[in-house]
Structure formats: C-alpha cells, structure tokens
C-alpha cells in the first residue's frame, strides 16, 4: 500500500514537472514569435523600438497570467439600466410648434409606457432564463 502511494506521488510530481517544462517551452516559442513580429513592425516603421519592447513584454505577461486569472470577478452582472429622459424645453426650441389638433404629449407618454412595459417583460424573461 505504501509503494502505491509513493508511486502516485512520484507520478504527480513527474506530471507537474513535465507540464512546467512544456509551458516554459511554449512561453519561449511565444516570446520568439512575438519578437519576430515586433521586429518586422519596427522595420516597416509602424512601431518604435520602445513600443515593440513593451508589446512583447505585455504579451508575455498576459500569457503567464492566463485567462482564468484575468477575470477575477466571476459573479454575473445585471444589465445596466438605461433611463430615457426627454427634455421638453430643448425640443420646443428646436422644433416647430405642433398642430393644435394633436396632443403629442399623450402619444409620447403612451409610447414610453409601452417601451417600459416591454423592457420590464424582457428583464423578467432574462431573470427566468438565468435561473434555469
């Protein structure tokens, strides 16, 4: 039983060492390719040498950090609420006065109310979908 545990431990250490070696080789290959690309951009005049150096370093740092560590906030976010506010004074100064027979305020109000109801229905549907 003790030999089995010892072999499992050695296997784990071996796998970890192999993964570290592979990651180091991949990182070195990435650095080489990034440096070639940066050198080519410098030759073309699209980038200065300082920008190229920063570009390569940032690329390597991003590769070392990994995607799982970049997004530290794992909680799902609620959509940002947008409120539409009409400034009647600005409208009145830029538009010609409406005809006396129509009532734009009442039609605008019903349109806004409809939109608010649609938004509320969509938000409720989104909540239900997230709970499933």
Over the stretch 14-32, which tens digit does the pLDDT of each residue have?
988 888 888 888 888 888 8
**Residue 83 domain flag:** no
Structure tokens at 88: 């009647």
CA dist 26 and 30 (Å) reads: 6
Are both 13 and 44 inside the same structural domain? yes
Are both 65 and 105 inside the same structural domain? no
Q: Tell me, yes or no, if the pTM score tops 0.75.
A: no
Q: What's the domain range around 126? A: 88-131
* The pLDDT of residue 101: 47
Q: Which residues of the chain have pLDDT under 50?
A: 100-104
Per DSSP, 103 falls in state -
* The pLDDT of residue 66: 66
Q: For residue 93, with 0-12 CB atoms within 10 Å meaning exposed, 13-18 middle and 19 or more buried, which class applies?
A: exposed
Buried b (16+ CB within 10 A) or exposed e, 94-119: eeeeeeeeeeeeeeeeeeeeeeeeee
Are both 103 and 54 inside the same structural domain? no
Q: Which of 124, 111, 51 is nearest to 84 (CA)?
A: 111
Count of domains forming the chain: 2
**Residue 58 domain flag:** yes
Query: Is there a contact between 12 and 22 (Cβ–Cβ < 8 Å)?
Result: no
Query: Is there a contact between 5 and 42 (Cβ–Cβ < 8 Å)?
Result: no
Are both 54 and 17 inside the same structural domain? yes
Q: Output the CA torsion sign for 30, 31, 36, 42.
A: positive
Q: How big is the CA angle at 117 (ends 75 and 132), to the nearest 5 degrees? A: 35
* The pLDDT of residue 75: 58
* The pLDDT of residue 30: 85
> Which of 19, 42, 70 is the endpoint of a domain?
70
């Amino acid at each position: 039983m003790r030999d089995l545990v010892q072999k499992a431990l050695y296997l784990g250490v071996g796998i970890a060492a192999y993964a570290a070696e592979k990651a180091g080789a991949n990182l070195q290959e990435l650095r080489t390719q990034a440096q070639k690309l940066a050198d080519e951009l410098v030759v073309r005049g699209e980038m200065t040498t300082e920008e190229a150096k920063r570009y390569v370093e940032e690329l390597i740092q991003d590769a070392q950090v990994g995607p799982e560590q970049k997004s530290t906030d794992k909680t799902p976010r609620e959509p940002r609420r947008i409120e539409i506010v009409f400034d009647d004074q600005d409208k009145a100064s830029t538009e010609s006065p409406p005809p006396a027979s129509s009532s734009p305020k009442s039609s605008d109000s019903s349109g806004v109310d409809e939109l608010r109801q649609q938004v509320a229905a969509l938000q409720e549907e989104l909540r239900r979908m997230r709970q499933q």
